[in-house]
């Protein structure tokens, strides 16, 4: 029995690592990398550090508009699926790679499994929201990370093939945090002290593609009294340069702009940050798992549990809010990992697929 796994972006490599390990105990797996993230630090280093098998196909789609990127992926993925004839296609998360993989499969009458199904920000202005909703509605197996995700699917009339599995990113973090603590020297390389800095990531189109939003976020960073470590996504750096902001960031005495870092270095930076400022869904969760206060540079989030439990606050691109929460926001209460599973989501997903594809035996 053959499974085609489709990935293309950093968070998907992290999610894939523990799942692929479990799948290969039962199935032949073909890995299709769309090339959505093509920078070395955003791509190959994750395969190396996480022990993920080298992709069988690298499609090299690269960047472009949503329509162009999704269309190119759809075309190239379809060619591979016709050649490989897998029994099931596995997609992750909410990127253009996710949607293209799901559409290519369903058009060829191949079953689709969606890891991280049921997430909703209820903001159709986010490309990721459109991707995840459409993917869920064409999927045969929907692996929901939380009870909230299951409820969201039920509210949309999706009840067949829904499984509460837990979150595979929690699996990945539990396995890799100990390795990261031993191997990573990122703090010493950057001259950082634990809890002596804030960590910032900005990459979503709603922030990078909007000059005023990105300007406002950067101004908040520069006006903060705290040291901010800012690993810049390639797209983010491109827009910082296009908007004339790169010079301001580099001259700011409190903002350390660095290239993207690998997964192990990122975990160490997250764990040792005093607070995290981000627009990434995955980083919001990792902050919660590591019990680091998170400031989310968006108006809405699909990871509502992190906000409800008081460890994440939504500030959008409001400079005054950002500066205020940097100073004042402190979580009250605890984090509750059980909401994201028991660290065995990957094993559960592989077992469900094995059982379902073998006729329930």
Burial class (CB in 10 A: 0-12, 13-18, 19+), 61: buried
> Do the two domains 2-167+341-357 and 175-339 of this chain adopt the same fold?
yes
**CA dist., res. 185 & res. 178, Å (int):** 13
The torsion angles phi and psi of 268, rounded to 5 degrees, stand at: -70, -40
Could you tell me how many helices (H) and strands (E) the chain has, helices first? 17, 13
Q: Which of 6-10, 16-20, 107-111 has the lowest mean pLDDT?
A: 6-10
**Pair 148, 304: CB distance under 8 Å:** yes
Higher pLDDT, 45 or 319: 319
Residue among 343, 282, 344 nearest 312 (CA) = 282
Q: What is the pLDDT, as a whole number, of residue 303?
A: 97
Please compute the mean of the pLDDT values over residues 330-342 and round it to a whole number: 95
**Pair 55, 32: CB distance under 8 Å:** yes
pLDDT at 332 over 90: no
Q: What is the pLDDT, as a whole number, of residue 63?
A: 81
- pLDDT tens across 156-214, in order? 999 999 999 999 999 999 999 999 999 999 999 999 999 999 999 999 999 999 999 99
Quickly state the pLDDT bin for 1 (edges 50, 70, 90). very high
Task: Report DSSP state, residue 325.
Answer: H
Integer-rounded Cα Rg, in Å, for the chain is 20
Please compute the mean of the pLDDT values over residues 129-144 and round it to a whole number: 98
Q: Give residues with Cβ within 8 angstroms of 166, minimum separation 6.
A: 145, 340, 341, 342, 343, 344, 345, 348
% pLDDT > 70, the chain: 98
**Pair 294, 284: CB distance under 8 Å:** yes
pLDDT at 361 over 60: no
Please compute the mean of the pLDDT values over residues 79-89 and round it to a whole number: 98
Burial class (CB in 10 A: 0-12, 13-18, 19+), 67: exposed
Q: What is the pLDDT, as a whole number, of residue 48?
A: 86
Catalytic residue among 33, 37, 114, 203: 203
Quickly state the pLDDT bin for 46 (edges 50, 70, 90). confident
Domain boundaries along the sequence of the chain: 2-167+341-357, 175-339
**CA dist., res. 295 & res. 285, Å (int):** 12
Half-sphere exposure of 63 (CA within 13 A, CB side): 9
Please compute the mean of the pLDDT values over residues 300-310 and round it to a whole number: 97
Q: What is the pLDDT, as a whole number, of residue 39?
A: 64
2-167+341-357 maps to CATH 3.40.50.2000:
yes
Strand runs labelled E in the chain = 2-7, 28-33, 57-58, 88-92, 111-115, 141-144, 162-164, 198-201, 228-231, 255-258, 275-278, 294-296, 312-314
Q: Give residues with Cβ within 8 angstroms of 111, minimum separation 6.
A: 87, 88, 89, 105, 140, 141
Q: Bridge partners of 58?
A: 33
Coil, helix or strand at residue 223:
helix
Q: Classify strands 88-92 and 111-115 as parallel, antiparallel or unpaired.
A: parallel
Please compute the mean of the pLDDT values over residues 330-337 and round it to a whole number: 94
- In CATH, the architecture of 175-339 is 3-Layer(aba) Sandwich (3.40)
Across the chain, what does the average pLDDT equal? 95
**CA dist., res. 221 & res. 317, Å (int):** 11
Give the chain's end-to-end CA distance (angstroms, integer). 15
- pLDDT tens across 208-222, in order? 999 999 999 999 999
Please compute the mean of the pLDDT values over residues 78-101 and round it to a whole number: 98
- pLDDT tens across 242-266, in order? 999 999 999 999 999 999 999 999 9
Question: Annotated catalytic, 203?
Answer: yes
């Amino acid at each position: 029995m053959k499974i085609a796994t489709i990935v293309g972006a950093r968070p998907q490599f992290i999610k894939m690592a523990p799942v692929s390990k479990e799948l290969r105990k039962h199935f032949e797996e073909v890995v299709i990398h769309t090339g959505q993230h093509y920078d070395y630090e955003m791509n190959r280093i994750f395969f190396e550090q996480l022990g993920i098998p080298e992709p069988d196909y690298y499609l090299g789609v690269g960047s472009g508009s949503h329509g162009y990127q999704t269309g190119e992926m759809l075309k190239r993925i379809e060619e591979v699926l016709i050649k490989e004839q897998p029994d099931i296609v596995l997609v992750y998360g909410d990127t253009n790679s996710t949607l293209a993989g799901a559409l290519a499969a369903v058009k060829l009458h191949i079953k689709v499994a969606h890891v991280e199904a049921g997430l909703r920000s209820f903001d159709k202005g986010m490309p990721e929201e459109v991707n995840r909703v459409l993917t869920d509605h064409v999927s045969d197996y929907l692996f929901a990370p939380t009870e909230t995700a299951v409820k969201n699917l039920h509210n949309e009339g999706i009840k067949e093939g829904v499984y509460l599995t837990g979150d595979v990113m929690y699996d990945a973090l539990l396995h890799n945090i100990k390795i990261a603590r031993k191997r990573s020297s990122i703090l010493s390389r950057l001259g950082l002290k634990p809890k002596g800095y804030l960590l910032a990531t900005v990459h979503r189109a709603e922030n990078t593609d909007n000059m005023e939003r990105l300007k406002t976020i950067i101004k908040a960073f520069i006006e903060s009294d705290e040291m901010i470590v800012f690993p810049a996504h390639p797209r983010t750096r491109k827009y910082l340069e296009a908007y004339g902001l790169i010079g301001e960031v580099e001259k700011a005495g409190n903002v350390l702009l660095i290239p993207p870092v690998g997964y192990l270095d990122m975990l160490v930076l997250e764990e040792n940050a005093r607070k995290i400022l981000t627009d990434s869904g995955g980083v919001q969760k990792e902050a919660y798992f590591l019990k680091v206060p998170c400031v989310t540079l968006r108006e809405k989030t699909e990871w509502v549990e992190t906000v409800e439990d008081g460890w994440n606050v939504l500030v959008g691109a409001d400079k005054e809010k950002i500066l205020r929460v940097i100073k004042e926001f402190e979580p009250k209460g605890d984090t509750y990992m059980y909401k994201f599973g028991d660290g065995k989501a990957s094993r559960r997903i592989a077992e469900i697929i094995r059982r379902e594809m073998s006729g329930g035996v």
